[in-house]
Amino acid sequence: MKLELRGITKRFGALVANDNINLTVEAGEIHALLGENGAGKSTLMNVLYGLYRAEEGEILLDDSPAHFAGPGDAMKAGIGMVHQHFMLIPVFTVAENVMLGHEQTRLGGRLDLAAARVRVKEISDRFGFAVDPDALVEDLPVGVQQRVEIIKALSQDAKVLVFDEPTAVLTPQETDELMVIMRQLKAAGTSIVFITHKLREVREVADRITVIRLGKVVGEASPTATNEELASLMVGRAVDLTVDKAPATPGAPALVVTDLTVIDPRGQVLVNHVSFSVASGEILAIAGVQGNGQTELTEALMGLQPRVVGEITLDGKSLRGHSVRQVLDAGVGFVPEDRTEDGLVGGFTIAENLMLDRSHTLPFVKRFNLQLALLAEFATAKVKEFDVRSQGIDTPVGRLSGGNQQKVVLARELSRELRLFIAAQPTRGLDVGSIEFVHERIVATRDGGTPVIVISTELDEVAALADRIMVMYRGRIVGIVPGDTPRAVLGLMMAGEPAPTTTVPTPPAPIEGAAA
C-alpha cells in the first residue's frame, strides 16, 4: 500500500509540532523518518494513526483520501503501529493480547481464543518469529514482546507498519533480529515507516530517508550517505561524531563498592551483591538494557535508596547511609537520568538552578542572605562557558530545549570541586550536536583526574566514552571488560551471557528477609 501525507500541520497551542510536512512511502518500501528527539517525528505518525488530528493537510492511501477519527479507523484502513513503549498486558497470554480490542466470539458470546492462537501461530510461522501463543507476556524477553506487537498489527492485516523508535529497549542482537524482520515484512509487500534518531540503524535498513528538523522536512537522503552527512541534516551544522580522547591514566581506586545489594519495599532484590571500583582519571561505563538494576544502583550511590546492604566508600570514607545532601557535600556530582523530574526545577530561573547544590552555604548564601550579584556573575559565566542558548540567566529553565536544560545540569555539577562524577543517561533526548558537547565535557572531567561513572543504554555511547565497561543483567554484574570490547560481545553480555574471558563469581546466599 502506498502512503502519502500532504501538507500535514499539527499545533499544540503556540507550538507548531509539524509544519506543512509532505511524505510519501511507496508500497513495499522501508522509509526512515530521521530526526532529533523532539523534531516532530512521533507527532506526525500519531496523526497518521488517528491519535492526533491535524489542523491542516490530508492522508492518502493508494491515492485515495483517508480520514481517521481514531486508531480503530486507522487499523481498519491497514495502518499498524509498533509503539516505543509496548501496549501489552503483561498478565495476558500472547493470544489474549493479540485479540484484545478485536475479540472474536463463539456461540453464547464466549471468546474464541482458539482462533486467536491459530492466527498468532500462522503469522509467527510465516515470519519465523517463534512466539508461543500461550506464553504469558510478562515471561517473554523484551525482543519477543516486540514481536508480539508486530503480530498484533499484522493480525489486523496491516499494509503500512510504523515502528516508533523500536530499538530503544533492545540489545544489539535483538536489534539485528528486528532488522531481519523488517526486511522480511518488506519482502512480503508491507510498507514500513521507521522512526529513529540512530544513524547506524537507519543506514543499515532504509530504502529512503526523510529528515525532519524542528517540525519541518529539511531534506531526503540515501542510505549511502555518511553519518556525518545525516547528522548535519538533522542538526543544521557540521557535527563531529567521534569522541576524541587519549588513553586513560588511572590512579588509585577512588570509589569502592563492596557486596552492594538494594531491596525494594516488597522484598525484591533489585541490585544483587555488586562489587566494583572506579579509579581517579578513568571512565567506568555501566551498560545494560534499561531495567536491569542500573537505576537502583545509581540511586544507592546517591543515598536515594532506603534499603541498602553492603559498603560504599569514596577516598576511604563511607557513603552508605548518608543523605543526598551529605553525598553531594562529599564531592559527588550527579546528572540524573530524568533531568526534568530530578535534575531541575522548571519554574526556577537558570541562575537559581545553577545554585541548587549550594543553596544553603557559601558562596551564594551568606548569613541566610542570597548573594544576588555574585550569583548573577557566576551564572552569566557558566551560560557562556557551557553555551546555554537562552534569553538570559533569568529565563525559567522549563522554557529551554532539552539540550540546553542538560547543559544547565552539567554546568551546575561540574562547577564545583568533585571527587566523583556520576552521569546517568547523560545524552537521553539530546540531538547529536548536544551529544557532542556533553561527551567532550565528560572526557575533560576524566582528564582532570576525577573518577567518572557513565550509566547508559546506548551502546555506541558506552563504546565511545568507556575506559572500562561493567555490564549488568537482572541486578547482577555479568562482567567488567575493557572499553574496546566488541559490540557483539557486549550484546551477549547484556542478554546475560558472560564474556568468554569473564569469570562471574558464584552468587552469595540470599539475604535474610528478602523475597526470592
For 346-372, how does the pLDDT look when each residue is reduced to its tens digit (9 = 90+)? Answer: 999 999 999 998 888 778 888 888 888
Place 87 in a pLDDT band, splitting at 50, 70 and 90: confident
Amino acid at 85: H
**pLDDT value, residue 101:** 80
**pLDDT value, residue 83:** 80
Place 11 in a pLDDT band, splitting at 50, 70 and 90: very high
**pLDDT value, residue 459:** 85
Average of per-residue pLDDT across 460-472: 93
Residue 168 phi/psi, 5-degree rounding, is -60, -30
- What does the domain layout of the chain look like in residue ranges? 3-235, 243-331+417-516
pLDDT score of 94 more than 80: yes
Euclidean distance between the first and final Cα of the chain, in Å?
A: 51
The residue ranking higher by pLDDT, 47 or 39, is 47
Q: What percentage of the chain has pLDDT greater than the value 90? A: 54
CATH class of residue range 3-235: alpha beta
**pLDDT value, residue 505:** 43
Residue 71, classed as helix, strand or coil, is helix
Place 141 in a pLDDT band, splitting at 50, 70 and 90: confident
Task: For residues 8 and 23, give the distance between their C-alpha atoms in angstroms, rounded to a whole number.
Answer: 9
Task: Provide the grid cell at 352.
Answer: 537559581
Average of per-residue pLDDT across 253-264: 95
Q: In what order do the strands lie in the sheet with 216-221?
A: 79-82, 160-164, 191-196, 30-35, 208-213, 216-221
Residue 352, classed as helix, strand or coil, is helix
Place 504 in a pLDDT band, splitting at 50, 70 and 90: very low
Task: Provide the grid cell at 172.
Answer: 544489539
C-beta atoms surrounding 343 within 10 Å: 22
pLDDT score of 240 more than 80: no
Q: What is the pLDDT of residues 50-84, one digit of tens each?
A: 999 999 999 999 999 999 999 989 999 999 988 87
Question: Residue 214, exposed/middle/buried by CB under 10 A (0-12, 13-18, 19+)?
Answer: middle
Q: What is the pLDDT of residues 142-155, one digit of tens each?
A: 778 888 988 988 88
Give yes or no on whether 3-235 and 243-331+417-516 have one common fold: yes
Average of per-residue pLDDT across 239-247: 82
Q: What percentage of the chain has pLDDT greater than the value 70? A: 96
Task: For residues 108 and 88, give the distance between their C-alpha atoms in angstroms, rounded to a whole number.
Answer: 27
Task: For residues 70 and 102, give the distance between their C-alpha atoms in angstroms, rounded to a whole number.
Answer: 15
pLDDT score of 222 more than 80: yes
Task: For residues 151 and 147, give the distance between their C-alpha atoms in angstroms, rounded to a whole number.
Answer: 6
* Predicted TM-score (pTM) above 0.85: no
Q: Give Cα 191 distance to the centre of its chain.
A: 26
Q: Give the right CATH number for 243-331+417-516 from 3.40.50.300, 3.40.640.10, 1.10.3720.10, 3.40.50.2300.
A: 3.40.50.300
Give the Å distances, CA to CA, from 509 to 23, 267, 273, 473: 58, 15, 10, 18
**pLDDT value, residue 508:** 46
**pLDDT value, residue 514:** 54
Average of per-residue pLDDT across 171-189: 86
H or E element, residue 285:
strand 283-287
Amino acid at 230: L
